[in-house]
């Protein structure tokens, strides 16, 4: 690894990375004060794709707002809808049938894998390797096909309903999911050989952008960013929700705190998600997917409710303040990438631009989710 | 006199045509090869197997407006793409494809090719410097430090071969390897090298070729995830086209040199068909390997690249040089 050189602040220039830059995967802008190839100071500028999702939440009824959540993060949309329906169900006391809960968990985990696969491809492309993206997208395609058959859409699902689901899964889906699991495990071995074992890849990531536990806690980082730094925190384990306590799965934790650790956590999470899907398919109970008395008008009693879920990008929280009407008083979304991204400013000081951008790739940023 | 002049002109025209054709169709081969590696079809619409893609791309690029951004150094900005293509074409003049097919057989052929290869680095510097773009500037700084770092081990390794051959004439170097397949310079025992380190020399030379031609995993000059498009960020139209073709022409030159210096040039292992075909076969196998490497490996870092050169390749090649000199003295 490079050791930071003695920086002379009077010899710097400002490099404007983004909002349209290939490395930022969206419209993130980073104002970098550079000394040659070294970053003296960096400032992330967000807001280029702000769509006022939170404000919309205060103006729409609950069912109308349902589709907004999947537009927040276009790669792991299921997890965000999950958080929203859970908090509304908690607030209005809607009982969810067991089958619906299991299907939700399976869908969220499938979506998590597809999100991690896309991240994997894009991350390796950040490092200059093109082909793994295509392999990852091919595996992701199987997931999208399965989800499309059930939910009707491939990217921004509106599948979860208050109290259950929009559509029941059929045998075809269950078979496809069962076929997918061994295929994905085979692909994971392939990625291990092609990418993880590659000496150039390892040399670039080992020791890159060391994040301490304290830094992660300071910024509220979650997901692989925190777990790569040795913080064993996963909402599915620590504050269990839905049917997750029924599943037997591990939370991969690495203590190195470098970009490779973050990479390894995500790759291991794919395997853990596969385990959850496997168990979910085995345990999938029969029954209805919506409660017998379908909630027609959703009017949670006045109060303050919070629900956190573990999405592909980390701890996603929804705080719902209801005043007893059919429109929420306040709907605060705690997006995980927002916290993860702000590590970047502090950590990238003194790094070379290519290391900094590799680090940025390892944070798994999805910009629409930061700006909301 | 006029006949020789005519000969030279014809030879130069053929060399230019060969370089341009190779550059154009290697783009196609690269895209098809990448597509094959990534399990997708690649360009397959225009003509059989998409073979009309390169001329159509050329027409498209030529039809585009040549944009010269405000505030650039116009002379250097225009000169840079020309400088990228011109040395590559000139180098073809002295490369022997068989014992009869060579435009101009020079006694200092190697020297000439390396002189032109150094000019390639200048084109990157000019392009980056004149573009008035921070990304282009950073890219050209990288490209120059890379060129300096990798020309040294490349030249030292070449000197090793030249010492064995006792000549800088490319024809002569190939003739000395032509007895059988085991006399190729890459094989250590039977050839006139008697040097156990020859396979390593080949490896050093090949790695340096990758770095000199700015190919992955050493394509730091145009690291698109960091520097947008590197030194040709501001270029459009045929200016970009020339950079692109120059890159492939340089790959052909690098592979030609590797073939001549280490793989016996047109020397045929079995003599099935005339030597020039053997030359082209070896050449394209090397080029295919370069394409394969590009689509498999991620990119190195700039300090990783410089460390590899200054801390590993240069000491190794110097040791190799000394070892070879000792062996020549002994045998």
Chain A touched by B132 (CB under 8 Å):
no
The whole-number pLDDT of residue A348 equals: 86
Q: Domains of chain B: which residue ranges?
A: 68-330
* Interatomic CA distance for residues B77 and B97, integer angstroms: 34
Task: Provide the pLDDT confidence category of residue B113 given band limits of 50, 70 and 90.
Answer: confident
Q: Which H or E run includes B62? A: helix B53-63
Span A113-139, pLDDT tens digits = 999 999 998 888 888 888 888 889 988
| pLDDT at A117 (0 to 100) | 92
Contacts of A249 (CB under 8 A, 6+ apart): A236, A272, A273, A275, A276, A279
Share of chain A above pLDDT 90, in %: 8
Distance CA B273, CA B286 (A): 19
Q: Which of B39, B219, B298 sits opposite A127 (nearest CB)?
A: B298
Whether B224 sits inside 8 A of A2 (CB atoms) is: no
Q: Please state whether B194 falls in left (phi above 0), alpha (psi between -120 and 50) or beta.
A: left
Instruction: Answer for the pair A48, A24: CB distance below 8 angstroms, yes or no.
Output: no
Greater pLDDT, A3 or A11: A11
Cβ <8 Å between B217 and A194? no
Strands A314-322 and A330-334, by their bridges, are antiparallel
Q: Where are the domains of chain A?
A: 9-371
Q: Which residues of A touch B142 (CB under 8 A)?
A: 37
Other beta carbons within 10 Å of B195: 25
Nearest to A128 among B39, B135, B216 (CB): B216
Q: How confident is the model at residue B124 (pLDDT cuts 50, 70, 90)?
A: confident
pLDDT tens-digit map of B125-144: 888 888 888 888 888 888 88
pLDDT tens-digit series, residues B30-74: 888 888 888 888 888 887 888 888 888 888 888 888 888 887 888
A198 — contact with chain B (CB < 8 Å)?
yes
- Chain A residues with CB-CB distance to B301 below 8 A: 2, 203-204, 352, 354-355
Chains A, B: CB pairs < 8 Å: 79
Q: Is the pLDDT of residue A9 over 60?
A: no
Chain A interface, best mutation among B297, B303, B310, B311, by max A CB count within 10 A: B297
Q: In chain B, what residues touch A21 (CB-CB under 8 Å)?
A: 228
Phi first, then psi: give them for residue A293, nearest 5 degrees.
-95, 100
The answer to whether A354 contacts B301, with C-beta atoms less than 8 Å apart, is yes
Cα separation, A13 vs A34, in Å, equals: 5
| A59 C-beta neighbours (distance < 10 Å), count | 12
Does residue A20 belong to the interface with chain B, where contact is any CB pair within 8 Å?
no
- Say if the Cβ atoms of B138 and A125 lie within 8 Å: no
- Per the CB < 8 A criterion, the answer to whether B317 and B157 are in contact is yes
Measured CA to CA in angstroms, residue A360 lies from A217, A224, B138 at distances of: 18, 13, 20
Contact A62, A326 (CB under 8 A): yes
Taking the C-alpha atoms of residue A134 and residue B29, their distance in angstroms, rounded to an integer, is 19
Contacts of B40 in chain A (CB under 8 A): 134
Among residues 204-223 of chain B, which lie with CB inside 8 Å of chain A? 216-217, 219, 223
Q: State the average pLDDT for chain B.
A: 81
Q: How far is A247 from chain B (nearest CA, A)?
A: 36
User: Which CATH code fits A9-371?
Assistant: 1.10.645.10
Q: Is B138 on the interface with A (CB under 8 A)?
A: yes
Pairing of strands A29-35, A13-17: antiparallel
Give the span between the Cα atoms of A260 and A132, in whole angstroms. 16
Residue of chain B nearest A3, judged by CA positions: B303
Q: What is the pLDDT of residues A352-362, one digit of tens each?
A: 888 888 888 88
- Residue A84, Ramachandran bin (φ over 0: left; ψ between -120 and 50: alpha; else beta): alpha
Distance CA A41, CA A132 (A): 32
Q: Give backbone dihedrals phi and psi of A24, rounded to 5 degrees, phi first.
A: -90, -5
Q: How confident is the model at residue B192 (pLDDT cuts 50, 70, 90)?
A: low
**Confidence grade of residue B190 (pLDDT, cut at 50, 70, 90):** low
Tokens of A69: 């959540």
SS (H, E, C) chain A: CCCCCCCCHHHCEEEEECCCCHHHCCCCEEEEEEECCEEEEEEEECCCCCCCHHHHHCCCCHHHHHHHHHCCCCCCHHHHHHHHHHHHHHHHCCCCCHHHHHHHHHHHHHHHHHHHHHHHHHHHHHCCCCHHHHHHHHHHHHHHHHHHHHHCCCCCCCCEECCEECCCCCHHHHHHHHHHHHHHHHHHHHHHHHHHCCHHHHHHHCCCCCCCHHHHHHHCCCHHHHHCCCCCCCHHHHCCCCCHHHCCCCCCCCCCCCHHHHHHHHHHHHHHHHHHHHHHHHHCCCCCCCCCCCCCCCCCCCEEEEEEEEECCEEEEEEEEECCCCCCCEEEEECHHHHHHCHHHHHCCCCEHHHHHHHHHHCCCCHHHHHC
Q: Are B62 and B121 in contact (CB under 8 A)?
A: no
pLDDT at residue B95 tops 70: yes
**Pairwise pLDDT comparison (B104 vs B109), residue with the higher score:** B109
Yes or no, beta carbons of B225 and A23 under 8 Å apart: yes
Question: Is B25 an interface residue toward A (CB < 8 Å)?
Answer: no
Question: pLDDT category, B103, cuts 50, 70, 90?
Answer: low
B304 to chain A nearest CA, in Å? Answer: 8
Q: Scan for tokens 């070879």, then name that residue.
A: B324
Contacts of A353 in chain B (CB under 8 A): 138, 226
Three-class secondary structure of residue B27 per DSSP: helix
Q: Percentage of chain A surpassing pLDDT 70?
A: 97
Partner-chain contact B38 A129, CB within 8 Å: no
Q: Do A135 and B228 touch (CB under 8 A)?
A: no
Taking CA atoms, what residue in A is nearest to B306?
A2
Nearest CA in chain A to B298: A129
- What chain B residue is nearest to A197 in terms of C-alpha separation? B297
Q: Report the residue from A15, A127, A194 with minimal CB separation from B299.
A: A127
Nearest CA in chain A to B299: A128
Other CB atoms within a 10 A radius of the CB of residue A31 amount to: 15
Query: How does pLDDT run across A252-296, given as a tens digit for each residue?
Result: 999 888 889 999 999 999 999 999 999 989 988 888 888 887 777
Q: What is the pLDDT of residues B305-327, one digit of tens each?
A: 888 888 888 898 888 888 888 87
Beta-carbon count within 10 A of B137 CB: 19
Measured distance CA(B35)–CA(B45) in Å, rounded: 14
Instruction: Verify whether the Cβ–Cβ distance B226 to A357 is below 8 Å.
Output: yes
List the 59-78 stretch of B: residues with Cβ below 8 A of A. none
* Cβ separation A124–B303 shorter than 8 A: no
> CB of B305 within 8 Å of any CB in chain A?
no
Q: Are B127 and B77 in contact (CB under 8 A)?
A: yes
Q: How confident is the model at residue B194 (pLDDT cuts 50, 70, 90)?
A: low
**Contact criterion met (CB < 8 Å) for A128 and B217:** yes
Helix axis angle for B134-165 and B237-262, nearest 10°, is 20
Specify which residues A333 forms β-bridges with. A318
- Among A32, A33, A128, A142, most B C-beta atoms within 10 A, so best to mutate, is A128
For residue B297, pLDDT beyond 80: yes
> So what's the pLDDT on residue A1?
46
What residues of B are in contact with residue A138 (Cβ under 8 Å)? 39
Which pLDDT value is given to residue B165?
79
Sequence-distant (≥ 6) Cβ neighbours of residue B329 within 8 angstroms: none
pLDDT at A237 over 50: yes
Q: Report yes or no: A28 at the B interface, CB cutoff 8 Å.
A: no
- The answer for residues whose C-beta is within 8 angstroms of residue A357's C-beta and 6 or more apart is A17, A23, A126, B225, B226
Output phi, psi for B182, to 5 deg: -80, -5
pLDDT number for residue B282: 85
């Amino acid at each position: 690894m490079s050791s930071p050189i003695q920086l002379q602040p009077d010899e710097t220039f400002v490099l404007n990375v983004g909002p349209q830059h290939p490395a930022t995967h969206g419209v993130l802008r980073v104002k970098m004060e550079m000394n040659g190839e070294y970053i003296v100071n960096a400032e992330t500028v967000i807001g280029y794709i702000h769509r006022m999702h939170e404000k919309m939440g205060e103006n729409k009824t609950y069912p109308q707002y349902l589709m907004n959540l999947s537009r927040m993060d276009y790669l792991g949309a299921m997890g965000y809808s999950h958080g929203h329906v859970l908090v509304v169900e908690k607030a209005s006391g809607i009982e969810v049938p067991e089958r619906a809960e299991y299907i939700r968990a399976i869908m969220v985990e499938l979506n998590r894998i597809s999100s991690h696969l896309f991240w994997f491809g894009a991350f390796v492309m950040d490092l200059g390797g093109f082909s793994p993206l295509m392999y990852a997208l091919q595996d992701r395609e199987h997931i999208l096909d399965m989800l499309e058959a059930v939910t009707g859409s491939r990217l921004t699902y509106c599948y979860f309903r208050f109290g259950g689901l929009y559509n029941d899964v059929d045998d075809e889906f269950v078979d496809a999911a069962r076929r997918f699991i061994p295929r994905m495990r085979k692909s994971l071995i392939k990625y291990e050989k092609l990418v993880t074992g590659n000496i150039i890849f390892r040399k670039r990531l080992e020791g890159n952008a060391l994040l301490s536990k304290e830094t992660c806690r300071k910024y509220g980082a979650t997901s692989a960013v925190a777990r790569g730094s040795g913080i064993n925190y996963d909402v599915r384990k620590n504050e269990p929700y839905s049917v997750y306590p029924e599943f037997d799965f591990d939370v991969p934790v690495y203590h190195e705190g470098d970009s490779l650790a973050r990479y390894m956590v995500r790759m291991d999470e794919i395997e853990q998600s596969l385990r959850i899907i496997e168990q979910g398919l085995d345990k999938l109970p029969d029954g209805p997917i919506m409660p017998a008395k379908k909630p027609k008008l959703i009017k949670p009693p006045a109060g303050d409710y919070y629900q956190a879920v573990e999405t592909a990008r980390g701890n996603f929280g929804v705080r719902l303040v209801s005043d007893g009407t059919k429109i929420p008083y306040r709907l605060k979304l705690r997006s995980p990438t927002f916290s993860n991204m702000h590590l970047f400013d502090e950590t990238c000081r003194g790094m070379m631009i290519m290391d900094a951008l590799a680090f940025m790739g390892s944070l798994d940023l999805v910009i629409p989710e930061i700006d909301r | 006199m006029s006949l020789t002049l005519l000969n030279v002109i014809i030879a130069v025209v053929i060399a230019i045509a060969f370089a341009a054709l190779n550059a154009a169709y290697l783009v196609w081969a690269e895209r098809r090869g990448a597509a094959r590696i990534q399990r997708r079809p690649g360009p397959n619409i225009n003509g059989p197997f998409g073979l009309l893609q390169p001329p159509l791309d050329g027409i498209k690029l030529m039809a585009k407006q040549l944009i010269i951004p405000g505030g650039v150094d116009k002379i250097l900005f225009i000169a840079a793409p020309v400088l990228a293509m011109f040395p590559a074409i000139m180098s073809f003049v002295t490369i022997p494809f068989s014992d009869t097919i060579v435009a101009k057989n020079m006694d200092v052929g190697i020297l000439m090719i390396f002189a032109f290869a150094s000019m390639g680095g200048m084109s990157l510097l000019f392009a980056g410097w004149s573009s008035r773009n921070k990304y282009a500037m950073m890219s050209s700084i990288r490209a120059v430090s890379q060129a300096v770092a990798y020309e040294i081990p490349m030249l030292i390794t070449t000197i090793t071969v030249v010492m064995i051959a006792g000549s800088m004439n490319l024809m002569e170097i190939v003739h000395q390897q032509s007895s059988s397949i085991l006399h190729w310079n890459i094989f250590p025992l039977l050839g006139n090298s008697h040097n156990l380190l020859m396979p390593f020399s080949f490896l050093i030379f090949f790695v340096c070729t990758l770095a000199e031609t700015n190919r992955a995993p050493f394509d730091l000059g145009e690291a698109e995830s960091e520097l947008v498009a590197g030194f040709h960020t501001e270029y459009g139209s045929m200016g970009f086209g020339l950079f692109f073709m120059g890159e492939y022409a340089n790959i052909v030159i690098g592979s030609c040199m590797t073939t001549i210096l280490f793989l016996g040039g047109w020397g045929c292992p079995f003599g099935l068909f005339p030597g020039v075909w053997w030359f082209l076969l070896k050449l394209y196998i090397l080029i295919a390997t370069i394409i394969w490497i590009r689509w498999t490996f991620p990119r190195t870092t700039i300090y990783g690249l410089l460390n590899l050169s200054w801390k590993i390749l240069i000491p190794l090649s110097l040791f190799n040089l000394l070892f070879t000199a000792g062996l020549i003295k002994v045998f």
